[in-house]
Structure formats: structure tokens, C-alpha cells
Structure 1
Amino acid sequence: MQLTDAGKRFGAKLLFEQASWLITAQERTALVGANGTGKSTLLKVLAGQDSLDYGKLERTRGMSVGYLPQDGLALAGRTLFEECLSVFDELRSMERELETLSVSLAELDHESPEYAAAADRFSHIDSRFRAHDGYALDSRVGAVLDGLGFSKEDWQRQCEEFSGGWQMRIALAKLLLEQPELLLLDEPTNHLDLEARNWLEQYLRTYPKGFILISHDRYFLDATVSKVVEIWNKGLHFYAGNYEKYLRQKDERRAQLEAAYRNQRLQIEHLEAFINRFRAQATKAKQVQSRIKELEKIVRIEIPPEEQAIHFSFPQPPPSGRTVIEATAVGKNYGEKRVLENVSFTVERGDRVALVGANGAGKSTLIRMLAGDEPVTSGTLRLGHNAVAEYFAQDQYKVLDPAARMLDDISRIAPRVSDTDLRSLLGCFLFSGDDVYKPLGVLSGGERNRYALARILVSPANFLLLDEPTNHLDLRAKDVLLEAIASFTGTVIFVSHDRYFIDRLATRVFEVEGGHVHVYPGNYEDYLYRKQGLTPAAQAAPAAAQQVESAPVVQQEKERTKRVNPIRLRQMQERLAFVEEELPRVEAAIAAAEESLGIFISAEESQRVATELDSLREQQATLTAEWEELMMQVEEQTAIG
């Protein structure tokens, strides 16, 4: 696919112009840029869902493109499993034809022309069916659904029973199963928990074709892409490497541009000074005209204004006592359903605790109980001395006054903060210009949640409970929030699916799993390594809160240099199991092809079987080499663990 001198407007606003981009078969690219620069619009153009105002877009004939929007998709009329299988309609049609041909071959006379024709057709269809891994459709669908967080009980549910976020997961599952030549994903991690994000990250790392994605998850970008394309200053700018490398290169480019701008300004000032000094002297007329022409030929360098970096600090609250909250043998049931059982832990002043666990494990239930919005079924929760809790819910916008204007409302709760500072803060959360005078009731749910979070920042309590505070935030707003919480002297318990946010912020991780809470010191990366190092006996321990003792720092660093990421280890183990199942199938296919070569049907058929046999032998050699490599890596990592 190729963009040439492309341009696009949104109303009167020019998003980008003279944009050229050759998109290759192995594209692994992040599309970045400030809000409103046209990232989602460009993705729609590439997907064929929007048109250019200038320039042209050319694509290879017959290439397949898969596009996932941010939201708005709704599927109905089939079960989850059937909906995902529908992407293989052509293969399933082949499968039905193979079944029909098998019946015919059993009934027809082996010497008849009809039998020969049916056998030839069966061989042709079977070859194509096997080449597309048609005999493993159910397992392929199951693997993707499992990776994206669907339980086996979900497989037979009707699609219309799933909420909006799960609908987007279904759409993503279908795209991953289709494996188009180019995947276009607009915020694919928005509706995924950490486990599903980690799985998608690993999936994209091994995706055999190309993809372009937009994401506000910095860790996800660092782990998946090898190129960054930024929409900046109404043009496309290309950077090699992941997001972290892009940030460094961007700073370097900015410095080079500013140096070139300064040099050009000196040149222009020198020329203008000469022209002004000698304009009136007839003896210098020729030199003056030469300088004027030189000045006119200069292409002026422009430096667009950078978004102003906002550094916002919480007004620091009065300190609480040392113990902020203590849970003792806490349990929570909804009717017959047991969500939490015998949970005990203590949170101390200054802790920044990340609650992690699969969707439905009970994270939001636990944080509502800690906030006092949900009663415990058994046990006790005791708030410490002088601890004052403030809770930010996923639907926090519901408690706002819809008639209040945004700037008036936030000024009322933060009378000591100037309007200029408040407007700067609101700008970080994507409210600029006249937006700050809007009544809260006219904002969308996502906009009101963003505002509710900004509102908490200006007047916080000393114990914050934040449920998904990074939802609906771009990278800039996340950085503001992260910096503010990192400098906050109070105590924070938060739920987030943003790996970078957790890694930078958390001092402890509480894993909610199987009705219990396991407590780990450190951030999310520390949690992963320690979880990998648990013995089976420790994993099975029914204690409500299992405190994993801190390893010496030196030993911990040694483990980090030796051990592979546990998610990567699990992926290698799953791939090894697949290769071990695939090798016998390929060997059986080789034996069948060799046998077929001994029976002459036609020269064309013999050539086809010989070509297929060569391909199968190459596949066998590749799988054998991969099996040996995986065995060595898995054994090495298992021994280290």
C-alpha cells in the first residue's frame, strides 16, 4: 500500500498534507501524534472507510485489510464460537465438500471415470484445506478466545449478550483469526485487561504479516512495534525503533531543527542588514539585488509550538496514621456466588498498591469495599487513624452535577488554585478553549470521567482509591496523572490495565485470584518474576493473603538477567506442544505423498504431488529445527526457574 502526496481536511482544519508512505508487507508500526492531528482519520483512509482530499492511495490488487475501530461494533445472531468460526466460511465450505466427496468415493466404482474425477477433486481440495490448516479450526478459535479472556462457558453464549467492551474483543478475535495482510488497530488494548494485553502483545510479536496500530499504552508500543510514524506539523515523520527510541529521536530532531532555524535566522538577518544598509547606494545596486533574490529563494524553516509540558502536583493532604486500612478475614458473596474469601492484608501510609487479576476476579468489588461503597459479607475492614478515603469509580461521572459548568465546578472545590492553572490542568485532560465553559451534562461518559479525575487531583483526600483512572486518557494525560500520584504523600490503591503506569507507580501488587489476595512487594515486573518463582506448594496455599518475602537485591538482579519473561516462557511451551503435534501430521502427509507418487494418474498430478512433497519435507525440516531450539530454551528456562 502506498500514500503519495496525501492530504486530508476535517472541516476547515487541515490535518495533514503532502504525506507519502510506502507500507511494506512486514509493517510493524505505531501511528502517534497529539489528539486531533488525524491518527484515527488516517487509519480509516488506509482501511478504505474514508477518502483523501488530496493525493492518492494505491494498494496491491487483492490484498486483504482488517480494521478495528475504537468502538461502535455490535455483533448478534450467532454464538460467540460460531461468530468466530464464520471467518473461515471458505474453509468450512471446503470441509463440507470433502465430506461429500468422501461419501462419493466410497460409493463409486473405482474403475469409473466419475471415481477418477472425484478423487482428483478430493486431492485438490484436501491439499488446499491442509495448506490453510483447516483441520485445526476449532483449536485456533479456542486459542484466540482464551487469549482474549473468554472462558469456555462464554463460547456458546449469544454475541448480543456481551457488553460493548466484550463486543470489541469479539471483533478483535475475528480479525486475528482472519490474519489479513495488513491489520489496522485503533486502540486495541482499550477493552483488555492485563492478561489479555500481554497475550495480544505476544501474538503481535509473532504475527506473520503487517500491522499498524494506535495505542496510548506505552509499554505495549515498546513491546510490539519496530517503527513509529508521527503526524506532526501537518506531515508524516518516520522513526526507526519502538516508542522509547522514537521519543529520543524526536528530541534529537527537534534540537537539529532548532539549530537549523537559528542558523537560518542569522543568515536572513545578515542579508537584510546588507540590503537595508546599501539599498540607497547606486554603486551597490547589483549586490543588493543579488541579496534580495537570495533572500527570496530561502525556504523558511518553521518550528511549530510544542504542547506545553504540564507539571501538576497534588495539594498535599493532612497525614493519616501509619496504618491506613486493615482487612481481616474479609469475605464477599453475591447470593451463592463467592467472590472473595478469608482475605487479610494491611495497607500502610505512603503505599501505592496496584490491584491486578483477570476480569471478573473481584478487583472492582474489593476496591468498592475498601471505599465503603460495598458491604463485606464476613470479616472486618478497619480504616486507620485520620485516614480519609476518596473513591474514583469507572462510572464516576454519574455523581457530577449535570447543570454545573466545568470551570465553575472545579474552581468551587479548589478556590486557592488560579483559573490559569486550572485551565492548564483541564487542557491536559483534553478540555481546551470554550470546552471549559460547557455544562457537565452535555459531555459524553468518557469526557465526564476524564473531568472527574482532574477534579480529584485539585483537592484529594489522603487515601485515594482509583478504579481504572487511565481509561479515556491519552499518553500526555497519563504522564500528568502518573507524575502527580508519584509525588503524592498520601496512600493510593488503584486498578489499571496499563503496564507502564503500574510499573512506574506501584510499590506493592495485590493479585486477586480465585477468591484470594496474594501480596507482592515491588511493581508489576517484580510481581511477574516473583510469581514465576513460587513453588507449587506456595501457589496452592489457601491462605487469604500470601506475603512473598523479598529476595536480596543482588539475587533479584541475577534472576532478571537470567529469566525469560514468564509470558514468553508460556508461549514457548505452547508453541512446543503445537510443534510436537504438527510433526507427526507432516510426517504422515509425507508418507501419503510418497505412496501417491507410486501410482501414476497423470503427468500433471505427479508433478503436483512431487511439488507438495518437496514443500512438506521443507516444512518437516523447519519444524524439527524449531522443536530442537524450543526444547533447549524451555529446559534452560525451567531449570533457572
Structure 2
Amino acid sequence: MLQLADAGKRFGHKLLFEHANWLITPDERTALVGANGTGKSTLMKILAGLDSLDYGAVQRTKGMTIGYLPQDGLALTGRSVFEECLSVFDELRAMEKEFEQLAHSLAELDPSGPEYAAAAERYSHIEGRLRALDGYALDAQVGAVLTGLGFSKTDWTRQTEEFSGGWQMRIALAKLLLARPDLLLLDEPTNHLDLETRNWLENYLKSYPNGFILISHDRYFLDVTVNKIIEVWNKGLHTYHGNYEKYLTQKQERRAQLEAAYRNQRDQIEHLEAFINRFRYQATKAKQVQSRIKELDKIVRIEIPEEEPIIHFTFPQPPASGRTVTEAIHLKKSYGQKEVLTDVNFTIERGDRIALVGANGAGKSTLVRLLSGEDAPSGGSLKLGHNVLVEYFAQDQYKVLDPAARMLDDISRTAPKVPETELRSLLGCFLFSGDDVFKPLGVLSGGERNRYALARILVSPANFLLLDEPTNHLDLRAKDVLLEAIQSFTGTVLFVSHDRYFIDRLATRVFEVENGVSHIYPGNYEEYLWRKEGGPGAMATAISNDLETKAKPAPAPQPEPEPAATPQAAPPPPEKPAKRMNPIKLKQMEDRVITIEEELPRLEASIAEAENALAVFVSIDETKRLTAEMASLREQHAQLTTEWEELVLQLEEASV
């Protein structure tokens, strides 16, 4: 359907990828992953036809349709939400009008005339097309998608320009899903979606009839939607079959195999260089030295790219609070005539990690602001426990930062006891590296300042953290740092997040806000769904069977010992030649030297073939077999080389 052939792309002086080949099939279900700056979004634009390659070619099937959703930047105006979505069916709607006109014409024309026959034929053709394309249910299709993406019926008639940037992206996503292109390209589609809407999109993509490629920092979303991973790494595209969890395991295995091939190649290079240096100036070995020099020049050097360092950040542990952190009794909150919370009751105890969930507009952020003291309740009571220190991270936390302060100076003042190197490593996790740490906060975008504000909270936390959408604008690496830090935090945390993996790994209780009241569920989000759906019977249909293992960290795989290569008996050392060597013995040694010189290139070719085979991962067993085979070949090569050197020295002595 679409193919990259020997593709390459540069961004300025930086090479993003080269010699990339990728055949995209009609049933593609692929995630595009890689570190920041490796070129994922650029590659997505190339596939969409919005950017071009510097090398190679993109080949597309004639007539194929491609739909592309960027990360942000789309703005729609001039129509209502419903009309904007219906616009993707303009061709079908024109066919509907023609169909109606033909129906009127057929009622008026003479059935025996040629005009009637032509109109009837066209009527039949259009009817078939409308049935095939489900043209009789366009309004129902639009309504289903808009509802799934979180638009209420009152939103359908509102003008698109009335909506914020995030909701504008939802409208653009709705149009793409309704158009059903042959290939759907989604760059961070979950950025502007809440948890319930993400769940709906997961199910929609599972039944999507065509192919799709997506970029996402939501690990759970990738696990349940894709069956192939393309990683942009080491200036190339690398394919992994399976979901994101399987990709992580295969990536570790592939890197270990690449490092083994690199070590083997270094051994080969060092051996060749030692031989060349030893015999470079001996005329009798000029032929063998030149052979080794040519072999050295032909070696394609294996490169091991530097991995981003894994940062393990630990919160400075706060002073302990009392056992009861806060208690809400018949809590209410209204804004004018609108009641958001009507009767909320709960108790939060020290050490709780609470996920706050609920539909958009249910009152999650309102409840967080009440707990932080930003807003006052309209009724009921909210009591903080003994020695409770509250730290609140809002969705627009960046607004409280000093725009004139430099980033590194500001965070150093916040945490004077934390070494600067550790602060810079933490900022690097949140995508601030190099000279970025010296920028004034005022020049950062809203998303960048929010990322910085979250990093700032990590270095000097209180004992009760309130985090409203802390995972927004974070990549997978930064999410892992945040997750690990909160898991080791001894204080209490209440958080709102739309990242399913983050909630599953962190929450010990789930508070659901619905219809102005709260419902409390023990356990993580998976267990919340289980109880909400009615227990084990419903869980079997609502949740896939392997989710239990996903909520727990997988044990690190223990590497199996590689099979030891069978040692080969070293040939007995040749007898030391006498001053006057027997001519027969001399001839045997000369023949043996010739035989070894013929055998060594064959062994070297076999070693090179094994190295090339190791560079393509097939399976763990095949990697072990090739590693053992290469070890045996290298041992034979070393023994023959040693024997050859001793024979050559003896022949030189005999010729004196």
C-alpha cells in the first residue's frame, strides 16, 4: 500500500535516519517510537506527504487515501461541530440529493421512454453506493463519534471557534475517524483526551477496518491497540512484532546481541592490527600483511549509540503527617446556580495514593482545588489533619512561576541541598538539556513551563501532594521518573491523570466523582473497573485477561548461560628444528604453512558471515547458537594463526 525504499532524512546537520525500508500493509497496526529528536513526527509527515525525503523514495498505491492528525495547531471556524463533521461526507450528501431528484423524476417520466431508463439505471447505481457506504446513516455515524469523543448533544450545534485548542483537535480527530482513510496517521492522539474518551478510542481503533500508525506516550494505549512497533534508533528503522510491552523485552535482547557483535568485531580488529604491527616490516610476510590490511579496510564498523541515561530520582522525604490527612463531610461546591459537588464524603489517610476519576465536567479539578485551599466549599466541612503540608500542582501551574528567573537558578533556590548535577539530570528527564537550563522561564511555552513546574515540585515536596494532570506534556521517560519517585514517596498523594498505565501502577484507591457525589473503590484502576462492572463475570468481558500482569512490574529476565564452545585440542607444538633440518620435514612444514594460509581466509569469511547473521535478530536460541559457533571459529582461527607464526619463524631459522 505504501513503501519507504532506502529512505533517508536530515534535519539541518543532524542525520535522523538512512537506508530505511518499510512496507506498510493495508492491515497496519503500528506504533512509531523513539527518543525525543529522533524524527518520529518528521517521518509521520513524510508518510502523510507533507514533508519530503533527502534520500530514497516513498511509493504509494494509486488512489489510496491518507488521514493525518498532527499533535496540535489545527483551528476550525465557520460551521457548527455537527456540520463540520458532516462535511467529510460531502460527496455522499451530494449523491443523496441526486437520489432524491431522481426519485421525483422517475415519478414524472414516461416509463417507456429512454430518459426513464437512464434515470432508473442511475437511481439503481446511486442506491447501491449509498448502501455500500452506509449513506443512509450519516447523522447516526457523526453522533456516535462525537459522543465517543466527549461532545454532549448541546455541543453539536455550537460553532467550532467557540472551543479551545484541545477540543478543536478532538473535532479534527472525529473528522478523520468518520472519513475512514486507507491509512490513518495519528501523532499523539491521546494528548487532549480524558480517560473515558481514551477508552472509547482504544475500542474504536480495535475495530477500525483499515490500517493506522500512531505516536503516543501512553503505554497502556499502545499495549492494547498495536501489534507492531517501528523504532527510530541508531539512524535507522527497526521492527519489533508485538505490543509495547513485548517491544521493551525484545529491545533489551537486541541491544545485548548488538553489544556482543560489537565486542566480537573489536576482538577481530585488535587481532588484525596486532598481526599487521608485528609483521609490517618483514619482507617475507608482506603478502599476509597486505591481506590483513585489506580485510581490515573492508570491515563495516558496528556502532553502539549512547543510550539516554536512566534517571532514578527520589523525593526528599517530607515530615510525617498525622494518620488522618483530610476528611470531607457532606462537602458541597456551587458556582452561581450550577451545583458541581452536592454531597461528597471521604477520609484520606497517610500513605494513600488516590486516583481521582470521572467524566469531563464531573468536578475532579474542583475537588482538587477545594483540597488545596484555592477554593472554599459552599457547604459541608473539609478538615486537614495534624501537620499536613499541602502542595498543589494545577493544570496551569506555570502561571505562578517568575518569568524573569532562569530555570537552573530557580530550581536551585527551591532545593538548595540538592547537588546541581542531580538537578540537571532531573531537568534532563523533563526534556530540558544543555543550555535550556539557563533560559528564563518566561520564554518557555505553556507546556514547557508546566513540565518545569512539575520537576520543581519533585525536589521539595510537602507531605500531601495534589497533582492535577501531572502526566500532560511528559514523554514515556519522564513519566517513568515521576512514577518511580511517587512510588517511593512516604507522604500522601491524590492525583488526576488520563494515563491508564500511570494510574494502574500508582493508585491504591480510586475516588470516582459522578453526579456531584463521590464513590470510593479500593485498589487501582483495573480493580475499579472490575467492581464497577459487577465483579468477575463482567471483568471477563470488560477487561482483557492479561491486565493483571500489566499492573505488576515484570520480573527482570534472567539471562541463560550461553553454551560453551567445545574446546578444540591444540595441535602439538612442532619440534624445534635442528640446525640442519631434514629436507622431508622442511617440505612438510612449508606445505603446512600453505595449507594454513588457505584455511585462514575461509575461517575469517565464516566469522564475518556469523557476525552478519548476529546483526539480524531472529530468536534467542538462534543468537546463542551463532555466538557459540563464532566462538569456536575464533578459537580455530587463533590456533591456526599461532601455528602459522611458529612455523614461519622455524623456516626462517632453517634458511639462515
Q: Quick check: TM above 0.5?
A: yes
Residue number in structure 2 paired with 1:433: 434
Deviations 1:50-102 (A, max 9, x none): 11111111111111000000001011111111111110001100100111111
Alignment of 1:405-484 (within 5 A): 405-484=406-485
Residue number in structure 2 paired with 1:193: 194
For 1:106, what is the secondary structure of its paired residue?
A: helix
> Is 1:311 equivalent to 2:312 in the alignment?
yes
Work out the CA distance in 2 between the residues paired with 1:477 and 1:51. Answer: 31
Alignment of 1:559-574 (within 5 A): 563-565=540-542
Q: How big is the alpha-carbon RMSD for the aligned residues of Structure 1 and Structure 2?
A: 1.2
Q: Residues 401 and 441 of structure 1 are in contact (CA less than 8 Å); yes or no, is this contact kept in structure 2?
A: yes
Shift of 1:111: 2.4
What letter corresponds to residue 239 of structure 2 in structure 1? F
Deviations 1:220-256 (A, max 9, x none): 0000001000000111111101101110000000000
Residue number in structure 2 paired with 1:35: 36
Residue number in structure 2 paired with 1:254: 255
What letter corresponds to residue 143 of structure 1 in structure 2? A
Work out the CA distance in 1 between the residues paired with 2:209 and 2:504. Answer: 29
Shift of 1:205: 0.7
Residue number in structure 2 paired with 1:322: 323
Deviations 1:115-169 (A, max 9, x none): 2222111111111111111111111111111111111111111111111101000
Deviations 1:508-547 (A, max 9, x none): 000111111110000000000000017xxxxxxxxxxxxx
CA, structure 1 residues 142+566, in 2 after alignment: closer, same or farther (shift >3 Å)?
Answer: farther
- Between 1:20-29 and 1:482-491, the stretch displaced more is 20-29
Work out the CA distance in 2 between the residues paired with 1:258 and 1:211. Answer: 33
- Between 1:216-225 and 1:19-28, the stretch displaced more is 19-28
Shift of 1:269: 1.1
Residue number in structure 1 paired with 2:654: none
Work out the CA distance in 1 between the residues paired with 2:343 and 2:517. Answer: 7
- Between 1:204-213 and 1:102-111, the stretch displaced more is 102-111
For 1:101, what is the secondary structure of its paired residue?
A: helix
> Is 1:150 equivalent to 2:151 in the alignment?
yes
What letter corresponds to residue 36 of structure 2 in structure 1? N
What letter corresponds to residue 376 of structure 1 in structure 2? P
Alignment of 1:353-368 (within 5 A): 353-368=354-369
For 2:348, what is the secondary structure of its paired residue?
A: strand
Alignment of 1:316-395 (within 5 A): 316-395=317-396
Deviations 1:579-632 (A, max 9, x none): xxxxxxxxxxxxxxxxxxxxxxxxxxxxxxxxxxxxxxxxxxxxxxxxxxxxxx
Work out the CA distance in 2 between the residues paired with 1:39 and 1:470. Answer: 20
Residue number in structure 1 paired with 2:597: none
Alignment of 1:55-70 (within 5 A): 55-70=56-71
What letter corresponds to residue 19 of structure 2 in structure 1? Q
Q: Residues 7 and 53 of structure 1 are in contact (CA less than 8 Å); yes or no, is this contact kept in structure 2?
A: yes
What letter corresponds to residue 541 of structure 2 in structure 1? V
Work out the CA distance in 2 between the residues paired with 1:526 and 1:35. Answer: 33
Runs of at least 4 residues off by over 3 Å: none
CA, structure 1 residues 16+566, in 2 after alignment: closer, same or farther (shift >3 Å)?
Answer: closer
Q: Residues 261 and 302 of structure 1 are in contact (CA less than 8 Å); yes or no, is this contact kept in structure 2?
A: yes
Work out the CA distance in 1 between the residues paired with 2:325 and 2:136. Answer: 57
For 2:250, what is the secondary structure of its paired residue?
A: helix
> Is 1:164 equivalent to 2:165 in the alignment?
yes
For 1:489, what is the secondary structure of its paired residue?
A: coil
Work out the CA distance in 2 between the residues paired with 1:107 and 1:511. Answer: 62
Residue number in structure 1 paired with 2:175: 174
Shift of 1:110: 2.4
Identity, % of aligned positions: 78
Work out the CA distance in 2 between the residues paired with 1:294 and 1:81. Answer: 68
Q: Residues 532 and 566 of structure 1 are in contact (CA less than 8 Å); yes or no, is this contact kept in structure 2?
A: no
Work out the CA distance in 2 between the residues paired with 1:12 and 1:359. Answer: 44
Work out the CA distance in 2 between the residues paired with 1:262 and 1:50. Answer: 39
Residue number in structure 2 paired with 1:214: 215
Shift of 1:31: 0.3
Paired residues in the alignment total 544
Residue number in structure 1 paired with 2:94: 93
For 1:533, what is the secondary structure of its paired residue?
A: coil
For 1:563, what is the secondary structure of its paired residue?
A: helix
What letter corresponds to residue 254 of structure 2 in structure 1? R
Work out the CA distance in 2 between the residues paired with 1:277 and 1:111. Answer: 103
For 1:266, what is the secondary structure of its paired residue?
A: helix
Work out the CA distance in 2 between the residues paired with 1:263 and 1:294. Answer: 15
Work out the CA distance in 2 between the residues paired with 1:234 and 1:285. Answer: 39
Q: Residues 198 and 567 of structure 1 are in contact (CA less than 8 Å); yes or no, is this contact kept in structure 2?
A: no
Shift of 1:204: 0.6
Q: Is the radius of gyration larger for structure 1 or structure 2? A: 2
Shift of 1:408: 0.5
Work out the CA distance in 1 between the residues paired with 2:306 and 2:319. Answer: 39
Work out the CA distance in 1 between the residues paired with 2:49 and 2:283. Answer: 62
Residue number in structure 2 paired with 1:53: 54
> Is 1:289 equivalent to 2:266 in the alignment?
no
Work out the CA distance in 2 between the residues paired with 1:466 and 1:33. Answer: 27
Residue number in structure 1 paired with 2:266: 265
Deviations 1:241-275 (A, max 9, x none): 11011100000000000111111111111111111
Shift of 1:10: 1.4
Shift of 1:566: 5.9
Structure 1: runs of 5 or more not aligned: 535-557, 569-641
- Between 1:45-54 and 1:244-253, the stretch displaced more is 45-54
Shift of 1:109: 2.4
Deviations 1:316-340 (A, max 9, x none): 0000000001001001111111111
